[in-house]
Amino acid sequence: MKFDVHGNTLQLIVGDITKQTTDAIVNAANGSLLGGGGVDGAIHKASGPELLKECKQIRKEKLKGEYLPTGEAVITKGYQLPAKYVIHTVGPIWTGDNVNEKNKLLANCYINSLSLAKKYHLQSISFPSISTGVYRFPIDSASKIALTTIVKFLQKNNFGTVVMTLFTKGDFEIYLQSAFEILEQNSDAS
């Protein structure tokens, strides 16, 4: 499903993020940047060993050995992926407490990834549903945070295309309902 947002395209699909041909895909990474399960593991596996090597270099040089903070984002090459770049961001782990803080951190994942894509002059990006897998963020809330953040960014920027690449048809339906609600409230989107 495609939506026009201030001359940009917001698209919702069910698919495999490692197969997306956008300029960048977003990795729902863990703070170590060394791969893991879910989306993170799939992206590391599909990109080849060069991605892990570059992530280790970022950890050593840019992050001074520390973990990437929740909500922040870094960019690497895509290597063997169809996408030229991978933007790694760390979503919040849902525990049911500090809800406002967790919501803000999740929004930061999207805005910081989009800002990094813009800084690199990219015109298309694919996101997974960040934090809704093993990090247990409620998908209904996560979809509203993700799409509200993306729509606000697209209203203020001449960017191009943002694709939400969802893992299941059920996830797609939740995001689609949220998209209709958010875009209906917004006069700039149609």
User: Can you tell me which residue has the tokens 């960017």?
Assistant: 159
Domain 2-184 has CATH 3.40.220.10: yes
CA atoms within 13 A on the CB side of 156: 9
Whether the model pTM is above 0.85: yes
The pLDDT value recorded for residue 190 is 44
Domain edges within the chain: 2-184
Distances (CA, A) of 22 to 32, 141, 162: 25, 26, 9
Q: For 47-102, what is each residue's pLDDT tens digit?
A: 999 999 999 999 999 999 999 999 999 999 999 999 999 999 999 999 988 989 99
Q: Would you tell me the crossing angle of helices 139-156 and 169-184 to the nearest 10 degrees?
A: 50
Interatomic CA distance for residues 23 and 78, integer angstroms: 9
Tell me which of 10-14, 49-53, 106-110, 131-135 is least confident: 131-135
Burial class (CB in 10 A: 0-12, 13-18, 19+), 159: buried
Q: Which structure tokens are listed for 18?
A: 């490692």
Q: For 148-166, what is each residue's pLDDT tens digit?
A: 999 999 999 999 999 999 9
